[in-house]
Amino acid sequence: MAGATANPDVDALVAEAGAWLDEHWSPELTVGDWWDRLGNSGWGFPAWPERWFGKGLRGDAARRVISERLRRDVFGPPTGISTFLAAPTILAYGTDEQKQRFLPGIATGRDVWCQLFSEPEAGSDMASLQTRAVRDGDEWVVNGQKVWSSGAQFARYGILIARTDPDVPKHKGITYFLIDMQQPGVEVRPLREMTGEAAFNEVFFTDARIPDADRLGAQGEGWRVAMTTLSNERDPNNPGMGPGGGSMLGKPDLTLTVAEYRRRQSEEIDAFSFAIGGGAGALFDELVQQFGVAGDPVFRQRRAKLHSDRLTQRWTGARGKANAKGGQPGPEVSTLKLGGSNVGRDLRNLGLEAMGPAGMLADGDAPAGGIFHRYALFVPASSIAGGSDEVQRNIIGERALGLPKEPDESRDLPFSQLRTSRRPGA
């Protein structure tokens, strides 16, 4: 009704969060001390369960608590694969013992994680992976190769899917593990990108070992567990994705004061974090004003379309959040992922056009110190990471529109009988 106020229970929660922040926050704390306080308080990730470093809040309540922190300009919780991929999957499938062991290091930013899914011959068709895990008593022995593993060079742990049974169809013989990345038998080789950075890596396993206690979910159920991870990767509503503190890929220096860390972070932002954090949109608006193209009628029309597409993304995100079942995102996130790739390309193209000849410069000679240019070079990755555009279209067609699946013999044949580059005559 007109003039109605917000839910008084939510108001009380927001006031409680604000009071806690006023009492405990200081930019002179070290990053480690602040994340210890914030992580253990539950206010860092308010949508997580109360028992596991959260407040069990949903919807508007969680959003308003986060907004209250942002309004106070309080440094956020850790961000990265640890919080937006590993944590939601562990919360969904982990045993209490696994949650007790792994979630504290995630919530307080002490443990960096990486994702070990894609392989050189298993990218868009990820279920064709050939990394093997063989049972040896109470452990699994892992051999194989992964690629495009973001931040693996900094990681303490990794989320890994490996083939544990080659004699069943490919989707059914996969198991999900939590692996120690700092053990013998794990080799990480950074991959230099055209941005000049090394956000991604290839990872080689040679007789690496994983205790069976670090298996996540049942043996052979890894594909189902991995779909939870991938759905969270494609979901911009994911509370672990941000807005937060730290780096999406690096290993934070927990000994720095928050004030010093923020200063360095603003100077050393990488293209990946810039893209994920949404900074490109704000910088685009600044560049439009700087180069005086806002009044050009053709540019204005294209900018209006970009604006409407960004709004559509926001509304689609809200619909996806409303339709989530049991806290798990549905197929709507593929629409968001595909739309995000399209918006990224349009934003890149318009931003470079707005700069005119200056759009051809690079690094320190380019406007804004070249950060938008590094973003422009990173944009193609958004159509691959987290599932390619083609994969998203298949998911939308099959799971959202109800179209029949493509014919695929691999759904029924044992993986050991499928033709691959290693077994062309199978």
Q: How far apart, in Å, are the Cα atoms of 35 and each of 8, 72, 115, 403?
A: 29, 16, 23, 46
Sign of CA dihedral 230, 212, 104, 254: negative
**Catalytic option among 187, 233, 286, 390:** 233
Strands 174-180 and 215-216: antiparallel
Helical segments of 291-412, H only: 297-323, 332-354, 371-378, 389-395
Burial of 301 (0-12, 13-18, 19+ CB in 10 A): exposed
Strands 157-163 and 215-216: unpaired
Under 8 Å between Cβ of 61 and 10: yes
In the residue annotation, 233 being an active-site residue is answered as yes
Question: Residue 262 in 3-state DSSP?
Answer: helix
Q: How far apart, in Å, are the Cα atoms of 188 and each of 167, 179, 376?
A: 30, 14, 27
CA 18 to CA 359: how far, in whole Å?
43
Sign of CA dihedral 174, 180, 186, 192: positive
Catalytic annotation, residues:
233
